[in-house]
Amino acid sequence: MLLKYKYKLKPCKRQAVIIANWLSMARRQYNYRLAERLNWFEATRTPVNACPLNVSVVPVERIYQNIPEFRVQTRDGRKKDSNGKLITKKGDKHPNIVNGYVLWETVQLADLAQTKKLFPEYKSMHSQVLQDVIQRVQTTMDNFTKPDKNSKTSGRPKFKGKHYYNSFSYPQLSNNNIVKNADGRYCVNLPKIGLISFVYNRPIPVGFKVKTGTVIREADGYYISFTIEDKTVPLRHAEIQPTEDNSKGIDLGLLHYTVTSDGEFIEVPKFFRLSENRLSKLQVRLAKKSKHSKPWKILKRKIARLHQLITRQRLDWQFKLAYHLFSDVSVIFIEGLQIANLVRRCKAKLGDNGQFLPNGQSAKSGLNKSLQDAAFGQFIQILEYVAWKLGKRVIKVDPKGTSQHCWECLSKVPKSLSERWHSCSICGQELDRDYNSALLIQKIGLLSTQEEDITSVKTAVRADLAEESRALP
């Protein structure tokens, strides 16, 4: 099992300067190595409608310019075969180009020695911290060029500005790096930085070993995030058969944050909305200051701290809500919302003369702000994490039609977004719209776990109609 524990660092002035310098150097190295990868990527691509079939797009000499064909191993490897012999030895040659593809991670890792000769300040950085920068570039390019399990790729990688590269990692740390200094304070021993005291507010669990450490810069200082592992603890997900007694359905919304199938209504906290006025005043003052002046930097720091406060308030509240929802049940049914679709901009409307017509985006902007403030996507992730931690279960239900059908008879009751009351003329149900949705989500969730062919409201309605037709004489 892998976990992450985060602690507040308390560096002295000298250590804070070193950390800031390392972040700056790591950012420059990241941007340079990313530029190498993107330049090679673009040089070997051409539009699909102009691709030659019998020759290379770019001369071969230019494609592999300044890339050595082989690299020579400078030390014996650590891995051994079944006979106890070293798999790789000093002096072995390894190709940098395989089937026409450049092994960029290997090439760039080998080029770090030349970087240290050209820029001696990089010698002050720990070698593994510098190597981790190359691995980050490799991960970024893999996400860009290789599709994931859903056949999707991330966008084109961007260069990192000063405020967008905020961490560096030690790939190899251990429990021995956490020690007490002469004053009895807990410290973490970071190579080439020294002993840094930190707030050891929760101990590493017994049996877990520290694997990596990431130093992170935030608005209120520096933090360190330890990755800890215990291979003896299995990573299991609870297999609980849901019933009406041990489960509940919850409906997410902006009028009430959650409405549960047992009749509990929880209001929306609106953390961003409550701080919006204060935030806007600070931003107005910031706009009047000279850029990069001392007053400008002070206001920037205040705005960053306020954003951090809003984020932490929301995160803390969502964790408390997740534990509260699981206090009396073992299974929660929730809508599988597509957040990106909810906050998508309205399509532009063009008139006959080519001018843009009103499309309702101004009103949608306010709705989008409230959706982002509610952070439903983050809450669903927290709910799944809390369920895993407690040995309980979260089951997602298709959200289509959950607000337009009656939970009792499954008949369709069309409602606009402004209509907040559900009134069914078929079975006579009269209740709040969101409460009806929560009851329907629980019902569909229970049906989906009992019958394989029911996965949504649509399939449940179809199955109900088929059952009624069979009952007719």
Residues 6+ apart with CB under 8 A from 283: 303
Distance in angstroms (rounded) separating the CA atoms of residues 75 and 56: 37
Q: What are the Cα distances from residue 473, in Å, to 78, 442, 469?
A: 78, 32, 9
- Name the one residue in this structure whose structure tokens are 């190709």: 95
Main-chain dihedrals φ then ψ at residue 157, nearest 5 degrees: -60, 145
Distance in angstroms (rounded) separating the CA atoms of residues 201 and 229: 19
Distance in angstroms (rounded) separating the CA atoms of residues 295 and 282: 12
CA-based nearest residue to 455, from 382, 380, 401, 384: 401
Instruction: List, for residues 388-441, the tens digit of each pLDDT value.
Output: 999 999 999 999 989 999 998 888 899 888 888 999 988 888 999 999 999 999
Residue by residue, what is the 3-state secondary structure of 108-124?
Answer: HHHCHHHHHHHCHHHHH
Q: How many CB atoms lie within 10 A of CB 213?
A: 21
Distance in angstroms (rounded) separating the CA atoms of residues 3 and 210: 10
- Name the one residue in this structure whose structure tokens are 């001392």: 294
DSSP strand pairing (186-190 vs 178-180): antiparallel
For residue 165, the surrounding DSSP H or E stretch is none
Distance in angstroms (rounded) separating the CA atoms of residues 249 and 443: 8
Q: What are the Cα distances from residue 395, in Å, to 242, 299, 319, 336, 441?
A: 10, 44, 18, 9, 10
Residues 223 and 9 sit within 8 Å (Cβ to Cβ): yes
Instruction: List, for residues 380-389, the tens digit of each pLDDT value.
Output: 999 999 999 9
Q: How many CB atoms lie within 10 A of CB 340?
A: 8
Task: Give the angle subtended at the CA of 343 by the CAs of 163 and 405, to the nearest 5°.
Answer: 150
- What pLDDT was estimated at residue 448? 87
Which residues in 65-84 are b (16+ Cβ under 10 Å) and which e?
Answer: eeeeeebeeeeeeeeeeeee
- What pLDDT was estimated at residue 55? 57
- What pLDDT was estimated at residue 150? 82
> Which portions of the chain are predicted below pLDDT 70?
46-58, 60-61, 452, 471-473
- What pLDDT was estimated at residue 361? 87
Residues 167 and 22 sit within 8 Å (Cβ to Cβ): no
Distance in angstroms (rounded) separating the CA atoms of residues 164 and 27: 9
- What pLDDT was estimated at residue 77? 82
CA-based nearest residue to 298, from 92, 397, 306: 306
Residue by residue, what is the 3-state secondary structure of 50-98?
Answer: HCCCCCCCCCHHHHCCCCCCEEECCCCCCCECCCCCECCCCCCEEECEE
List beta partners, residue 413.
none
Residue 281's SS3 state is: helix
Residues 8 and 199 sit within 8 Å (Cβ to Cβ): yes
Retrieve residue 435's tokens: 């409460």
